[in-house]
Chains A and B, each alone.
Chain A
Amino acid sequence: MGVYPWVAWFAFRRYTAYPLGSGAEALTNTVFGFIRASVLIALWRARPGLGGYDTADAVTFCFLTQALIGPVQVFGGMELTERIRNGDVAIDLYRPTALQGWWLADDLGRAAGSLLLRGVLPLVAGALVFPFHWPGPAGAAAFTVAVTLGVLVSFGLRYLVTLCSFWLHDGRGMDAVALVLSLFFSGMTVPLVVFPGLLGTVARGLPWAAQIQVPADVYLGKHTGTGLLGALAFQAVWAMALLAAGHVLTGMARRKLVIHGG
């Protein structure tokens, strides 16, 4: 372990050092939450019980996703990308630690800060205005685990995209694809439970589902007993696979490295 908990802790402090910006984002996410909620309410009025959700489930889901935008960084991106482009990554590569480990720790700290500053407001606001579900203590514990795993998966995905900057001169195309996949397959746009047939099955099996859909379902108590364990295992397996891929790709990047700038 060594330095990593410290990296996470300092990252947490770093991301919470300027709370005003986060506050503004929390407010924006809340406002969009209300807009999305009214659309979802209309949808569930027309199709009650759609995807196994009732209206309160759908609304809760909506505000949960709004709260998780920051922590799982649905819109993608990492500070490391910019550092690769401008050459500051030399500093990261020089440190006597693993590149992925360092930035994972950093991201966990960031996610915790983000949950606090950008997650609480949408949830509370949604709960005050709409019919809402609150989990019991066990549910809350499971949700905590699911969000943590969701952050790991999100990091794993973003880290892989970021590492491509070592090879690509212009990562914008890559970022755009990553963004669409993330928005569509995480459940951010519409809950994955309403995706029909094969598309739904596939979507629910992809790693993006582990970012938002699974934590939300855990929160809503849609998984119980072994089902719950299965859901968490699904996340954990994706997290491990992505981090393993990240590890391999980091090694490749180190070997054929291009560092931009002096």
Chain B
Amino acid sequence: MRAEPGMIEAEDVAKSFTVRKRSGRLRRTRTTLDAVDGVSFTVRRGEFVGYLGPNGAGKSTTIKMLTGILTPSSGSLRVCGLDPARRRTELARRIGVVFGQRTTLWWDLPLRDSLTLIRRLYRVDAAAHRTRLAELTALLELEPFLDTPVRQLSLGQRMRGDLAAALLHGPELLVLDEPTIGLDVVSKATVRGFLERLNTERGTTILLTTHDLGDIERLCRRVMIIDHGRLAFDGGLDRLRATVGADRMLVVELARPGPPVVLDGIEVLRTEGPRQWLRLPNAVNAAAVVSALAERHEVRDISLREADIEEVLAGLYRGDHAYWCSGRPVAP
């Protein structure tokens, strides 16, 4: 045993489901689906890790194993030094979980009541509860709707309520499964700011599943990417961008169709009539490129886009950079 065990230690963790499929009138065939197919990683105390991957990659299944809801089919898993499936109850008192598409709150009762129930559930003493509730209320701006029935809350308000619910017992580790999905810009900003402070000021370890590049860029110093149940990447955000060439891209519309523009250090990835797609490495100053372009060409329109995480991921799995020019329309 090491002196400082990781907050989460996963070694070759796998989970397979048996799926029955209809094959013909009455016959059914059983197939095995490897939702998580042998992942190993360690999350240390105080880290903020993004856990990414396309839909169906195995993110939620991993989280269900981390929280002890599902038992791994094989491999070994330790969270806070405990085997989650065996010591679920003990573990739940030390970690907090938010399942973004579900709620722990009771629809028909005011938010305040759900939080009271959670205090009883986690046996938080009254004084500690008062302090934490006041703190969470301030940070998450819950005050205006503490006494509103949960069913009347907006998605953003409900999510902030769920975050408070997950943190009332002061967990060491917070696991979030798509907490910003469907949130409006303001709520997203509140949630992000809150998570950032929680991690830096409180030292709460956070594992975050999201599809939102903004979340990742603002919050996660480290990302893990899972695809088809396997870890495809584990490292810093910068390294991810470097690995998959996730530079920005400049889409230029010139006055006339012509040959690819020639600019130092800039690769033209594709041309289509008057439009050209230019790869802009992170080191290159976009403003300089734009003014150089404008000097030499008659430019109709210009737009700069960041690679979004779906495309970065897609590129990563395909092992090429085709994602730059495919997928969504690149119109400004």
CB-CB contacts below 8 Å: B255-299 with A: none
Docked CA distance A88–B178 (Å)? 15
Q: Mark A217-234, 1 if CB is under 8 A from B, else 0.
A: 000000000000000000
Q: In the complex, are the beta carbons of B117 and A96 less than 8 A apart?
A: no
Give A17's nearest chain B residue, CB to CB. B108
Q: In the complex, are the beta carbons of B106 and A93 less than 8 A apart?
A: no
Q: Which of A5-13, A37-45, A125-133, A153-161 lies at the interface with chain B?
A: A5-13
| A262-B60 contact, Cβ under 8 Å, with A10-B109, A14-B108 | yes
| A97-B108 contact, Cβ under 8 Å, with A90-B69, A257-B69, A259-B69 | no
Q: Does residue B88 face the partner (Cβ distance < 8 Å to A)?
A: yes
Q: In the complex, are the beta carbons of A262 and B101 less than 8 A apart?
A: yes
Docked CA distance A81–B103 (Å)? 17
Docked CA distance A91–B69 (Å)? 9
Q: In the complex, are the beta carbons of A18 and B108 less than 8 A apart?
A: yes
| A90-B102 contact, Cβ under 8 Å, with A96-B88, A259-B69, A259-B70 | yes
CB-CB contacts below 8 Å: B26-81 with A: 60, 64, 67-71
Q: Which of B118-126, B139-147, B324-332 lies at the interface with chain A?
A: B118-126
Q: Does residue B17 face the partner (Cβ distance < 8 Å to A)?
A: yes
Report B-chain residues with C-beta under 8 Å of the C-beta of A94.
Answer: 67-69, 88, 92, 97
Q: Which of B68, B88, B117 contacts A6 (CB 8 A)?
A: B117
Docked CA distance A100–B82 (Å)? 24
CB-CB contacts below 8 Å: B82-140 with A: 88-90, 92-93, 97, 99, 101-104, 106-109, 113, 116-117, 120-123
Q: Does residue A172 face the partner (Cβ distance < 8 Å to B)?
A: no
Give B123's nearest chain A residue, CB to CB. A2
| A257-B122 contact, Cβ under 8 Å, with A96-B93, A262-B60 | no
Report B-chain residues with C-beta under 8 Å of the C-beta of A87.
Answer: 102
Report B-chain residues with C-beta under 8 Å of the C-beta of A262.
Answer: 60, 101, 177-178
Give B18's nearest chain A residue, CB to CB. A258
Give A88's nearest chain B residue, CB to CB. B102
CB-CB contacts below 8 Å: A77-128 with B: 87-88, 90-91, 93-97
Q: In the complex, are the beta carbons of B120 and A3 less than 8 A apart?
A: yes
CB B168 to nearest CB in A, in angstroms, measures 13
| A17-B17 contact, Cβ under 8 Å, with A6-B120, A259-B69 | no
Chain B contributes a number of interface residues (CB within 8 A of A) equal to 34
Report A-chain residues with C-beta under 8 Å of the C-beta of B99.
Answer: 90-91
| A96-B71 contact, Cβ under 8 Å, with A18-B108, A91-B99, A262-B60 | no
Report A-chain residues with C-beta under 8 Å of the C-beta of B123.
Answer: 2-3
Docked CA distance A127–B230 (Å)? 68
Interface of A is mostly: loop
CB B306 to nearest CB in A, in angstroms, measures 26
Report A-chain residues with C-beta under 8 Å of the C-beta of B116.
Answer: 6
CB B247 to nearest CB in A, in angstroms, measures 31
Report A-chain residues with C-beta under 8 Å of the C-beta of B106.
Answer: 10, 14
Q: In the complex, are the beta carbons of B117 and A7 less than 8 A apart?
A: yes
Q: In the complex, are the beta carbons of A96 and B104 less than 8 A apart?
A: no
CB B165 to nearest CB in A, in angstroms, measures 10
Q: Which of A18, A96, A255 has the most CB of B within 10 A?
A: A96
Give A4's nearest chain B residue, CB to CB. B120
Docked CA distance A258–B69 (Å)? 10
Q: In the complex, are the beta carbons of B17 and A14 less than 8 A apart?
A: no
| A14-B121 contact, Cβ under 8 Å, with A90-B99, A258-B17 | no
Docked CA distance A262–B35 (Å)? 12
Report B-chain residues with C-beta under 8 Å of the C-beta of A255.
Answer: 71
Docked CA distance A3–B124 (Å)? 11
Give B113's nearest chain A residue, CB to CB. A10
Give B149's nearest chain A residue, CB to CB. A17
Q: In the complex, are the beta carbons of A3 and B64 less than 8 A apart?
A: no
Q: Which of B109, B113, B121 has the most CB of A within 10 A?
A: B121
Report A-chain residues with C-beta under 8 Å of the C-beta of B97.
Answer: 94
| A96-B89 contact, Cβ under 8 Å, with A3-B121, A17-B108 | yes
Report A-chain residues with C-beta under 8 Å of the C-beta of B108.
Answer: 13-14, 17-18
| A95-B109 contact, Cβ under 8 Å, with A259-B69, A262-B60 | no
| A97-B109 contact, Cβ under 8 Å, with A88-B102, A255-B71, A259-B70 | no
Q: Mark A246-262, 1 if CB is under 8 A from B, else 0.
A: 00000000010111011
Docked CA distance A87–B64 (Å)? 12
Give A261's nearest chain B residue, CB to CB. B101
CB A98 to nearest CB in B, in angstroms, measures 9
Q: Which of A13, A14, A96, A169 contacts B92 (CB 8 A)?
A: A96
Known: A10-B106, A87-B102, A88-B102. 13 other contacts (CB 8 A): A3-B121, A10-B109, A10-B117, A14-B108, A17-B149, A90-B102, A91-B99, A96-B88, A96-B92, A96-B121, A97-B89, A97-B121, A262-B60
19 pairs from A and B in contact (CB 8 Å cutoff): A2-B120, A2-B123, A13-B109, A14-B106, A14-B109, A17-B108, A17-B149, A88-B102, A90-B64, A94-B88, A96-B88, A96-B90, A97-B89, A97-B121, A169-B20, A258-B17, A259-B69, A262-B177, A262-B178
Interface residues of B (CB under 8 A from A): 17, 20, 60, 64, 67-71, 88-90, 92-93, 97, 99, 101-104, 106-109, 113, 116-117, 120-123, 149, 177-178
8 smallest beta-carbon distances between A and B, as pairs: A96-B92, A96-B89, A17-B108, A6-B120, A14-B108, A3-B120, A262-B60, A93-B69
